[in-house]
Amino acid sequence: MESTEEISCVSQQEAIEIGQMLMGPLGFTVDQLMEMAGLSVASAIGEVSALMAYWYNVVPVVAPDSMFSTLPPVYSRSEYTRVLVICGPGNNGGDGLVAARHLHHFGYKPSICYPKRNTEPPFAGLVTQLESLSVPFLPVEDLPVQLSSDFEIIVDAIFGFSFHGNTSFLSFCLTFPLVFLFAEKAKTAIECYITSLAVCQTWNPRPPFDSFIRRLVSIKNQQRTHEIAAVVISVDIPSGWHVEEGDICGEGIEPDMLVSLTAPTLCAKKFCGPHHFLGGRFVPQSIIDKFKLKLPSYPGTSMCVRIGNLPETNLSAQKGIFTASENLEVEENPIDQFQKWLGDALEAGVKEPHYMVLSTAGKNAKPSSRMVSLEGVNKDGFVWHTNYRSRKAREISENPHASLLFYWGPIKCQVRVEGFVEQVSDEESEQYFSSLPRDIQIRPTVSKQSTLIHGREVLHQQYKEFEEKYHYRTSLPRPKHWGGYRLIPEFFEFWQGEESQVHLKLRYYAEEIDGRRVWTIHRLVPQ
């Protein structure tokens, strides 16, 4: 995952020029851009959840029956069913209409408030599509005063980068000479500031959108007082923000999720919410070159990618594993327990939670350990990939028993897994390898793991030569010396720490009863 500081952010003028290029010489239509933008927003909310997008960004794997099919989205439709999409009159509102349609197909229950309907194409067609799906359009007067009482998610698709938003006196003076005219007549700095506010008010949104923005602001106040509150998701730019300077007045919307489109605007640097995504997989290379954009790669087949730092989490506010040990929620199946804890680690912002210590021992019984990347987990076990000629592979061939250790310090959780190791099938290894980006496919081909080398520059040179040799290929064949292993678990130990040092251990033992595998759970005395 790349931080926002490593990704290009564009100015308002650059955003306008990019749009003009897309719809001009590059041949895109407004319909196409809205469709891709709306799908990106819906994907960030639902199917491509924050957990999955983060994981994909670190481990680019797309495989059926993998761990990703069981990790819950941050805003899963089971808990965040009712969605209100508030659409403005412009293209941002069109993105919201498209997002609502996709959310409907993802299993959510969207409703739309579209008070200033645009009756021109493509907006009229988007409305017709939603009406054919029986997605309700709600008039402003039918909405509750407290939006959180009827909805779990509010999508802010009111204004995009063409709205000036609240602004400072200095930036307003630099942008609009009219303010200078007024300011010159002011005798004091205070009068000058008051004059700037008076002029800025002419740029405030008109009814009913001014009321919507105030109500979205109030949702954050509800969250601060620990009331039940909906989450707010802003499309491209939080409505009312200045496109470059953000929420200068400090009284604007504070969304929980921001989905930037094409490239983040400068105001995205001011976003402090927990979930920031970018949707814009369609950006042509000519635009990237002209504007010198640095954009992240998109994982798998996803339409969005998580950017920015994961949020710091108030651990005391977390449910389940963060409460007292006696309240620890225990799953009957240890795989379910593991995936739950992994999900908590992801949400808490633990860095690289998928890395694990793999310990093996050869026929001489001498143990060795190293960090490897978990690349899939399901009912069959834990999967990683490596060179078949490496030391760990050799030791596994001599002694097919190993252990895994996961430690997530910020949430005081540790998981130890022991079991039998087997090679995954060639078909599984091929499927995983083919899902990797081309630049990552080159690495196992070039790297002769655990062999002597004169220096890192040798690898760089080999990588460059291989890339030049196969520059015409979008995908490479899997090296025969590289593939996957699966640890089939026989034992789990879950350790949960507490500040009081009264820790807790849960152990799961696999037993065969009447021809089927059953897990026995032992709750150990605190150490």
At what angle are helices 438-446 and 456-469 packed, to 10 degrees? 120
Query: Residue 97 in contact with residue 130, Cβ under 8 Å?
Result: yes
Sequence-separated contacts (24+) of 328-332 with Cβ below 8 Å? 328/496, 328/504, 328/506, 330/506, 330/521, 330/523, 332/519, 332/521
- Does residue 514 register a pLDDT over 90? no
Q: What's phi and psi for 123, nearest 5 deg?
A: -60, -45
How many residues appear in the chain?
527
When pLDDT is averaged across residues 188-212 and rounded to a whole number, the result is 56
513: Cβ–Cβ under 8 A, 6 or more apart, which residues? none
CA neighbor of 154 nearest in space, from 75, 225, 271: 75
370, β-bridge pairs: 358
Cβ within 8 Å of residue 469, ≥6 positions away: none
What predicted TM-score, i.e. pTM, was given to this entire model? 0.55
CA separation for the pair 7, 17 (Å, rounded): 19
How do residues 458-489 score in pLDDT, each as one tens digit?
A: 666 666 776 666 666 666 788 888 999 999 99
The mean per-residue pLDDT over the stretch 388-416 comes to: 94
pLDDT tens, 134-184? 999 999 999 988 898 899 999 999 988 665 544 443 344 344 443 334 444
Residue 21: band (very low, low, confident or very high) from pLDDT cuts 50, 70, 90: very high
- Give first-to-last CA distance, the chain, whole Å: 37
Q: What digits encode the pLDDT tens for the residues 308-346?
A: 654 433 333 333 333 333 445 688 899 999 999 998 888
pLDDT at 273 over 80: yes
CA distance 368 to 398: 13
Q: How far apart are CA 501 and CA 320, in angstroms?
A: 18
| Cα–Cα dist 12/268, whole Å | 12
**Collapsed DSSP state (helix, strand, coil) of residue 268:** helix
* 424 has pLDDT over 50: yes
Q: Tell me the average pLDDT across 413-433.
A: 94
CA distance 379 to 489: 9
Indicate whether 440 pLDDT > 80. no
